[in-house]
Amino acid sequence: MPSELFSDFNSLGLGDLSKADLYKEEVKPVRKAPVEVKEVKQLGETDLIFDKKYNCPVCGEEFKNKTVRTGKNRLLRIERDLRQVYTPVDQVKYDVVACPYCGYAALTKFFDAPTRMQIEGVRKNICLNYRTQRWGEDYYTYEDAKKRLQLALANSIAKSAKSSEKAFICLKIAWVLRGERDVLDPEAPDFETMKKENEAAEIEALDNAYEGFVQARQTEGYPMCGMDEPTTDFLIGALAFETGRYDVASKMVSTLLTSRTASSHIKDKARELKEDIIEKIKSQA
């Protein structure tokens, strides 16, 4: 007689189990040695920094400059004005190569390429007056980064660099200031004062970057600082938005959305910027 205990097994499609020995002795599993779980080390800034050798094109001396091992630095996001935010290292802090002997400094992409006349300008206006600086031994702080970018800006003036190079340095200064503001201690007694001063300095840097790129757009060819024309136009539009020039920002967006050469990626970013402009104008109405 079939057991009532298993009477519903067939209706469940599990009829074979009705013949099973309910209390059949369990097979005891073989105990295995516990697997050791190794703790994954969280990489810090100093783990991703190394010293790279350079030869100064102005004074000829060899020196070392701190550089980021980019392979393990993780991209978090790209902000409206194309700032790339990484963790654990803010790569913008390491974008300047600076000779500790003569004071020549430039963004990495421009360091090896000064002309003879530019070298003469640097020797006359920088080298004769330069005071040796001490940067961080293990990594560059935001204060180090700001000073190094300012040194690069002074060099760009001394060597009569293109407007785009000067504008790019100003943009990097704004990015470093923004990165510095992100790590300010909100519990510090002077937090609000430091935050306001930082924000004002960033707007000034963005304003100078905007002016420089607008001038470069009228006088220089492409690529410009590694950017094609649509990317440069988008950046100008973004900088116009961030400095309150909403009419210019709208014009640049319209140009990009009707462009035949702009990529779908740039057009998508232009649409996002258009929405930001509309929201900003509404909030001020």
What pLDDT shows up at residue 137? Answer: 86
Cβ atoms of 56 and 99 within 8 Å: the answer is: yes
In this prediction, residue 23 carries a pLDDT of 42
Neighbour count for residue 105 (Cβ, 10 Å)? 30
Q: How far apart are CA 107 and CA 265, in angstroms?
A: 26
- The residue count of the chain comes to 285
Backbone angles phi, psi at 100, to 5 degrees: -75, -10
Q: CB–CB of 205/177 below 8 Å?
A: yes
Residue 10 has a pLDDT of 59
Residue with tokens 């990015």: 175
Q: Using alpha carbons only, what angle is made at residue 95 by residues 91 and 96, rounded to the nearest 5 degrees?
A: 150
Longest dimension (CA), the chain: 109
DSSP conformation letters of 67-108: EE-GGGPEEEEE-TT-PEEEES--GGGG-EEE-TTT--EEEG
What is the pLDDT, as a whole number, of residue 43?
A: 85
Helix axes 246-257, 264-284, angle to 10 degrees: 150
The radius of gyration of the chain from alpha carbons, rounded to an integer in Å, stands at 29
- Per-residue pLDDT in tens (0 to 9) along the chain, 285 residues: 455 445 445 545 555 555 655 545 555 556 666 666 555 567 899 999 999 999 999 999 999 999 999 889 999 999 999 999 999 999 999 999 999 999 999 999 999 999 999 999 999 999 999 999 989 889 999 999 999 999 999 999 999 999 999 999 999 999 999 999 999 999 999 999 999 999 999 999 999 999 999 999 999 999 999 999 999 999 999 999 999 999 999 999 999 999 999 999 999 999 999 999 999 998 987
- Between the two ends of the chain, the Cα-to-Cα distance in Å is 86
Helical ranges in the chain per DSSP H? 116-122, 142-158, 163-182, 191-219, 229-242, 246-257, 264-284
- What pTM value is reported for the model? 0.84
